Structure 1
Amino acid sequence: MDMNQYLSMFIDESNDHLQSLNENMLQLENNPGDLGIVQVIFRSAHTLKGMAATMGFEDLASLTHQMENVLDLVRNEKLKMQDYIFDTLFKSLDALESMVQDIVQGGEGKADISSIAASLQAIVRGEGAPAETDASVQSANSSSPYPGIELDEFQFSVLDQSIAEGHKVLYIQVQLREDCQLKAVRAYMVFELLERSGEIVKTHPDVEEIEQGEFDRAFSLYFITQKNPADVENQIMNISEVDSVTMAELDHESLQQMAEESAATAEAVDHKTENAPSEPAPAAPASTAKSTESAPLKAAPKNGTHTPSRTIRVDIERLDVLMNLFSELLIDRVRLEQLANEAKNQDLTDTVEHMSRVSSDLQNIVLKLRMVPVDTVFNRFPRMVRDLAKTLDKKIDLIITGAETELDRTVIDEIGDPLVHLIRNSVDHGIEPIADRLAAGKSETGTVQLRAFHSGNHVFIEIEDDGRGIIRDNVIKSAIKKGVVTEEQAAAMSDEEANQLLFAPGFSTADKISDVSGRGVGLDVVKSKINSLGGNVTIYSTPGKGTNFSVQLPLTLSIIAAMLIQMGSEKFAIPLTSIVETGIVKKGQIRVVHGSRMVPFRESHIPLISLSRVFDIPDFDEEAEDETEIIVIRKGERLAALAIDNFIGQSEIVIKNIGKYLPSIQGISGATILGDGQVALIIDPNAFIK
């Protein structure tokens, strides 16, 4: 494995840990006394620091180490979380994210962290908050029968549970020879040996200090196993340059005595950190990578083995290649089905039908491989809303539902920025200031709901706030002022049409452009991006009660179900997701209203669009026919009818880009290859409904 692969793994895992840190910090902010969350945060920071140090990103490792020092005091109940500590830790996370992004872009992950590091160090020293580290704590620990290691309540319970289940709990101290040249390597060999037959719960010094050789010649640890202690000792002694091994087996009584001494020590804590004795204090509790993967931590399995991971990371480019290969297979399958029908050979027909069933199952699997939960996008928003609320001096609850809903990876990669725009608008311009909400009889805390759900072959993502809503008069006045519409056009607009003005380029109802947003800023970009993905966005709003932005997206962008149609000698495909129904209209039913042809549909009239005219098809003209077959299409709440020549039937098609060699064609979103090898253009219904 080359360094590029290591770097890719580091970036992926660093992003995972940073996301976990953000999420758990938000949880801790809502429940500052939950030490279980602090343990999870500490372990993520600990792992991130180790990875950064291994890869040589010193600034990243240094800043994470400073965060660890603060978190260590909190989890040992020597420091209580306060607002300024949360703010400092969140700033630290922002700096870490910036450094990781610099690494992603080919940089060295360097940054000026002196200011943030100084703030973290001040917190550890107790400046601005009580410092709760005491010399008496250290001296009490140094008199422990197992010096050097201080266990917390959580770790005591793990060891006690392990003893109850019949495991052996060993305290092990390893002394290396004076002439040992590679202390870290020898310690690593000890850890690797022990982890084959059990769990290391706690070490002193902590793991990364040992890995970097930052210890004298001795280190100690607590170990859970089912092996005979004498066998464990002999195996360690067989490692080169190990001078001696001291081992003691713990039982319930000795463990209980240690727990009582630890509790008594905690009560002796006061505010005399600076007066601590000069001798080294016990290291902060730290678990090895093997013992920090889950919370709560369970005792070691009886067979001494670990459950293997059931997930792997796959480069998205490999999935793209797989999808392209399967697309070619699907085209050949359709061709084989057509040839089998023409040949009238039963054996060939049976074989092709079996291949079709197998390839259909394969298709489902290939598509699911590309499906990713929208949670990968949603998980960035709680932190964003938290920061925006503090900046705007508002109180806002973000409620997320349906985060497990899955979308194609291509859509996921593109939808993040549009959602950021919509949420920022809801927070900034939708939710009123606290005073305005109270005056309107609302609670001081505004609510923004972010939800995702499936509906047919689409996924809907909705951003709904309980704010002031969209005021039609404000929208109209701003649109007229900016020359988007005339006064006559505005007067004839429905509320829905007026709301759609928010998506006009450069349109905004904000009195001034803030650093956050104004309703409408960037919404034209939002609409363009969503339309380019084959979706659309609709606005629903009630003045005084709130606004709902509903984004409709296709499940996948590669293989879709479509209706194949004939237009003279040409064939076209229309996505089924845009089709409401098909039908036939007689020539006498067509009406001309204000110069536009209309046809009756469900007690109303909808526009009739001639595809033969749009695409200049010379060998078909529906006006020469007494009856015209139509396809009713939908875009949001709007409907239209497409006049066609003939229906071929439904089929699953593979979307192919037209490429750079052809100019952009209005109303065409791509092409597909049919079973007979002919190319059929894919019609984009959204282009025909304005």
Structure 2
Amino acid sequence: MVLDITRFVVRFIDEAREHLLQLNEGVALLEQGQADIEQVNSLFRSAHTLKGSSRMLKLAPITDTAHALEDLLSALRDDKLSFDAGQHSDLLYQAIDSLTHQVDQLAEHQEPARLSAKDASLCQALTRAAEGRQKATFLPEASPSTPEPINRERPVQEVSLKTNDSVRIKLSRLDDLIKLMGEVVSSHAHMRELAKDSRQLKRGVSQIAPKLTNALDMFSRELRAGVQIQESLIQELHDKAMQLRMLPLSTIFDSAGRLVREIARSMGKQVECRVVGAEIELDRQMIDQLADPVIHLLRNALDHGLEPPQEREAQGKSPQGHITLSAWQDGSWVVIEVRDDGRGISLQAIRDKVQQKNLMTEEQLNALSDQDVMNLIFLPGFSTSAMITEISGRGVGMDVVKSSVVDNLQGSLNVHSRLGQGSRFSLRLPLSLALMRVLLVKVKGQTLGFTAQHISELVRVKRGAMMKVAERDAITLRNEFVPVLTLSELIHLPDKPEKIKKTADELLLLVVQVQHEKLALVVDELIEERDLVIKQLPGHLRQQPLISGMVTMGHNELVSLLHVPHLLERSRKAKITGGVQTQSGRQASRVLVVDDSLNTREIEKDVLEAYGYQVTLAENGQDGLEKALLEDFDAVLTDVEMPVMDGFALTAHLRDQENYKNRPIIIITSREKESDRRRGLEVGADAYIVKGSFDQNSLVETLKLLLD
């Protein structure tokens, strides 16, 4: 593969200019007799680095000049020569000037091919001086032979001083600047509140002193206009400051290929690592926390994913495995993906390990969908590796990835795998944690915030549209059941004395989502949605799982940001599984529930388990068909609209099987048209239930009637 050096040229220019500055300063110290052996070593290292870096980028003129300079400095370092200011100073300066000129050319054109050729006589003079074969005198190559007569009237040519187009500053100073800008943005919220107060003041004064109304009205307009202009300038200034802290993913990705090759070599595996999208930029705070998750995923792909060459050949694969580390920008988000073409994730191996560690019962495992089983790899201490090595098997790694991505970086993590074809881990991350889109709501008189990546939608529903499913409130949204909980009760928020206005017959629901799981939260009022500066919690509060950060509102009010993944975890723990249980001694009927919505599957599972049924879940028609053929179920509940295979096709396929010709099949869908009902009955369904009019007692009675 041909190396594309264009993306490395700018970095080389900055590095080269730093080394040239050190060389200039070091030679000056040598001239003054103030340099020690370490100073000479530093000069040699700078020349050596310039030579090595330019050689990698195929910058031959710079490489040759730096090499000759390195020879002379090496002789001085090894005491083969004694530094003589009269013999060596001018020659060293000429070499540094020549390198500076070449670097300036590279900076101007950004094209290595346009570099001027090396100064051969200068390089020869440096080499001879290093060998001690001549006095270090050097005359630049003159062009024509006849000297030009001096024209005293001709003006002296101006000397232009070139400066670097970039500077390096301490990270601590940059972080201080970003923090200060964050405080400025936050404090400006107070100005917005003052503008609102001025309008209220105008209305109040108009009733008491009408003559002041015009003056106050003008003042209020001027204040609002000034606040808007200032807000625009502050926002732009903050954006520019944030850009200073953005770094390319190449700071992590560039070493990925070397890391993969080294680990693969130690494991006796052949692998090609492809890196795509390393130029995508993220906030340095994100970059710092991203290195460990990426390393863990690469190690996982090498150890668990890729097979040894002999095993790959036996499966008809190339002996060389492939790992792809890629990134791309999706709006205000960055997606990072680690993909391999290895053996894939064995769901059976995960189930066996879970049972071996007694993490779940067999019934609980059977009730999980394939995706849920796959997500068990993120449990703390979980590993399917048969042997503990320095690479893996210690059960630390995948849980670290999830904790870093979801909790620390406010992102999401998804895993997809097909047995024998490989695995894909996708990380979806915000560009920065410093400034994020935030939705503010009011609950029991308290203002609370939610970051935008976990918000699905905001809806108003009639109280009468709520339904009771498995002893919980739920609504139907676009062909799926979504459980409903009151936010104040979920987080145990105490009542405030102030009265909250509520619409008698309507509820305001904030629907939040993590991966495919949704939850509708009852809130009292929507305040606003805007980009806000996120403040990290103080050290002693960072282990608080409910709060992910803080934002500042007008009048310096601190608002807590709720961590949505933790809210979903709390909601799962709050499930009530009441109902009528089967009598002891009676064997529970086995029911297969097929639906592409995780929420719908879980709600239907809760309903059926409450009445003593043993439930297995499938996430689409194809998955349901495969499970139905592998195991024997007493009844099947299926949705219609699903990827891969819909419910009508699933029902028709099942009716073609001898085992399922007379087994109850119930379609539960949001489709209400009579034509859909007829089609469901035509393909062999025994019952057709519309989700919008879902009643759990009706479902249970229908299922009981069909099974008896």
Q: TM-score, normalised by structure 2?
A: 0.60
TM superposition shift of 1:674: 0.4
**Aligned residue in 1 for 2:245:** 370
Task: Note if 1:334 corresponds to 2:189.
Answer: yes
Residues of 1 paired with 2:483 and 2:147: CA distance? 88
The one of 474, 493, 496 aligned to 1:616: 493
**Aligned residue in 1 for 2:169:** 314
Task: Note if 1:651 corresponds to 2:527.
Answer: no
Larger deviation, residues 454-463 vs 498-507? 454-463
Pair 600,154 (structure 1): closer, same or farther in 2 beyond 3 Å:
closer
TM superposition shift of 1:453: 1.4
Paired residue type of 1:462 = E
Paired residue type of 1:649 = E
Preserved CA contact (<8 Å) 2:547 2:560? yes
Question: SS of the counterpart of 2:167?
Answer: coil
TM superposition shift of 1:589: 3.3
Larger deviation, residues 337-346 vs 488-497? 337-346
Pair 318,609 (structure 1): closer, same or farther in 2 beyond 3 Å:
farther
The one of 295, 299, 305 aligned to 1:424: 299
Task: Note if 1:323 corresponds to 2:211.
Answer: no
Pair 644,195 (structure 1): closer, same or farther in 2 beyond 3 Å:
closer
Preserved CA contact (<8 Å) 1:502 1:520? no
Preserved CA contact (<8 Å) 1:405 1:453? yes
Pair 414,229 (structure 1): closer, same or farther in 2 beyond 3 Å:
farther
Pair 361,67 (structure 1): closer, same or farther in 2 beyond 3 Å:
closer
Paired residue type of 1:356 = E
The one of 38, 44, 48 aligned to 1:56: 38
**Aligned residue in 1 for 2:277:** 402
**Aligned residue in 1 for 2:694:** none
TM superposition shift of 1:68: 12
In structure 1, runs of 5+ residues without a counterpart are 1-25, 31-36, 76-88, 90-151, 160-176, 232-301
Pair 656,562 (structure 1): closer, same or farther in 2 beyond 3 Å:
same
Residues of 2 paired with 1:193 and 1:68: CA distance? 14
Which protein has the larger Cα radius of gyration, Structure 1 or Structure 2?
A: 2
Paired residue type of 2:355 = I
**Aligned residue in 2 for 1:554:** 430
Preserved CA contact (<8 Å) 2:91 2:126? no
Preserved CA contact (<8 Å) 2:249 2:280? yes
Preserved CA contact (<8 Å) 2:299 2:392? yes
**Aligned residue in 2 for 1:245:** none
Residues of 1 paired with 2:418 and 2:127: CA distance? 57
Pair 524,666 (structure 1): closer, same or farther in 2 beyond 3 Å:
closer
Q: Deviations over 1:116-167 (max 9, x none)?
A: xxxxxxxxxxxxxxxxxxxxxxxxxxxxxxxxxxxx99669999xxxxxxxx
Paired residue type of 2:561 = I
Preserved CA contact (<8 Å) 2:62 2:99? no
**Aligned residue in 1 for 2:358:** 483
Residues of 1 paired with 2:281 and 2:59: CA distance? 40
Pair 216,208 (structure 1): closer, same or farther in 2 beyond 3 Å:
closer
**Aligned residue in 1 for 2:261:** 386
TM superposition shift of 1:363: 2.3
Pair 204,474 (structure 1): closer, same or farther in 2 beyond 3 Å:
same
Task: Note if 1:669 corresponds to 2:573.
Answer: no
Equivalenced residue count is 485
Residues of 2 paired with 1:428 and 1:321: CA distance? 41
Residues of 1 paired with 2:166 and 2:424: CA distance? 37
Pair 641,224 (structure 1): closer, same or farther in 2 beyond 3 Å:
farther
Paired residue type of 2:449 = A
The one of 637, 641, 656 aligned to 2:520: 641
Pair 59,324 (structure 1): closer, same or farther in 2 beyond 3 Å:
same
Q: Deviations over 1:466-520 (max 9, x none)?
A: 1111111011101111222222211111111111111111111111123322496
Pair 346,27 (structure 1): closer, same or farther in 2 beyond 3 Å:
same
Pair 457,206 (structure 1): closer, same or farther in 2 beyond 3 Å:
farther
Task: Note if 1:455 corresponds to 2:330.
Answer: yes
TM superposition shift of 1:67: 11
Preserved CA contact (<8 Å) 1:466 1:547? yes
Question: CA-atom RMSD, angstroms?
Answer: 4.5
**Aligned residue in 2 for 1:467:** 342
Preserved CA contact (<8 Å) 2:91 2:137? no
Paired residue type of 1:688 = L
Paired residue type of 1:341 = K
Q: TM-score, normalised by structure 1?
A: 0.61
Preserved CA contact (<8 Å) 1:454 1:460? yes
Q: Among the aligned pairs, what percent are the same residue?
A: 27
Task: Note if 1:598 corresponds to 2:598.
Answer: no
**Aligned residue in 2 for 1:570:** 446
TM superposition shift of 1:411: 0.5
Residues of 2 paired with 1:59 and 1:560: CA distance? 48
Residues of 2 paired with 1:179 and 1:555: CA distance? 53
Residues of 1 paired with 2:63 and 2:545: CA distance? 68
Paired residue type of 1:587 = R
Question: SS of the counterpart of 2:185?
Answer: helix
